[in-house]
């Protein structure tokens, strides 16, 4: 699964949330969030955890 890094950064900014806070809420390491933010892919499970922590559907974060 590949989360669109621009969509992720935009959603974090919209919610005034840091990567550290997202890591705490999602249970995903900050390093993993940093990898995703730099354009790397992630597992479906991690993608879903991030979407849930941001309170958005996973479809809103995926690359088109």
How confident is the model at residue 48, as a pLDDT? Answer: 98
Say how far residue 39 (Cα) sits from the centre of its chain: 11
- Helix, coil or strand: residue 3: strand
What mean pLDDT is predicted for residues 50-63?
Answer: 97
Q: Which helix (H) or strand (E) holds 35?
A: helix 30-37
Q: Are 1 and 43 in contact (CB under 8 A)?
A: yes
How confident is the model at residue 43, as a pLDDT? Answer: 97
Q: What is the mean pLDDT of the chain?
A: 97
- Structural domains in the chain? 5-60 (1.10.260.40)
Q: Could you identify the residue written with the tokens 């550290």?
A: 20
- C-alpha to C-alpha distance for 41 and 21, rounded to whole angstroms: 20
């Amino acid at each position: 699964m590949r989360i669109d890094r621009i969509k992720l950064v935009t959603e974090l900014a919209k919610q005034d949330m840091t990567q550290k806070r997202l890591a705490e809420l999602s249970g995903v390491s900050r390093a993993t969030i940093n990898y995703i933010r730099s354009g790397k892919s992630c597992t479906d499970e991690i993608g879903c955890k991030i979407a849930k922590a941001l309170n958005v559907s996973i479809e809103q974060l995926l690359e088109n």
